[in-house]
Amino acid sequence: MSTERKVAVVTGASQGIGAGLVRGFLDKGYRVVANSRSIKPDAATDVLAVPGDIADPAVAERVIAEAVAKFGRVNTLVNNAGMFIAKPFTEYTPEDFATKISLNLAGFFYVSQSAIRQMLAQGGGHVVNMTTTLVGQPVKGVPSALASLTKGGLDAVTRSLAIEYADKGIRVNAVAPGVIATPMHKPETHAFLAGLHPVGRMGTVQEVVDAVLYLEAATFVTGETLHVDGGAHAGHW
């Protein structure tokens, strides 16, 4: 088993941005460990599919353990798994709250702990958290309290961990997308969603992938939240 090539772990990897990230890292010559609840085995020798709910501590530990067993290391973790529930604050149910906390926070916490332990043993690594531009710039008509509560936590912990581990060779960054054109958005909503961005269009999966790969290569950048949102974070327009 060779350990020379870099290894990226991507959660929420079965579709949309996650699937794009898998392709992006493969194109850069990485080996990739792909996790989601519905992930299927991949015939590619450079992809290891590890199914399961990343919010489960046992699954999170298994993802990192299998990455090391198969490929020998974990250079990069992208915490892409997450969900968005748009409801008025008073209409969120206890089930909504529990589901969001589980995936958006526990889905970050356990796998990041395991990955950082491995990175400490290796002498370095990189963690990228996927947040949302709504954390810093809420939009009237797009209720996002639970997104702010959970993804806002990821935005804050990005800076905290960046400082904690900077002298250990571990960088921690975040990407904050706007609305990205994926199959989850019905065509009849595209005009409204495009209007949520000053540039007047939705983002693409490739633009988010490019941002993650930029942070991966930018070795003097840590504690950064990179907005990929068509200018939405800059202010009201």
Q: Write the pLDDT tens digit of every residue in 62-115.
A: 999 999 999 999 999 999 999 998 899 999 999 999 999 999 999 999 999 999
Burial of 16 (0-12, 13-18, 19+ CB in 10 A): middle
User: 77 exposed, middle or buried (CB, 10 Å; 0-12, 13-18, 19+)?
Assistant: buried
- When pLDDT is cut at 50, 70 and 90, the band that residue 1 belongs to is very low
pTM of the model: 0.94
pLDDT of residue 21: 98
Distance CA 200, CA 193 (A): 9
Say what the pLDDT of residue 4 is. 79
* CA quadruple 80, 108, 129, 97: dihedral, nearest 10: 80
Parse the chain into domains and list their residue ranges.
7-228
- Whether 70 and 44 have beta carbons less than 8 Å apart is answered as no
Q: What is the pLDDT of residue 33?
A: 98
Q: How far is CA 23 from the centre of its chain?
A: 15
7-228 is a CATH 2.40.30.10 domain = no
Reduce the DSSP state of residue 50 to 3 states and report it.
Answer: strand
Q: Round the average pLDDT of the chain to a whole number and report it.
A: 94
pLDDT band at 186 (very low <50, low <70, confident <90, very high): confident
The pLDDT of residue 86: 87
* CA contacts within 13 A on the Cβ side of 202: 18
Query: How many other CB atoms are found less than 10 A from the CB of residue 148?
Result: 17
pLDDT of residue 136: 92
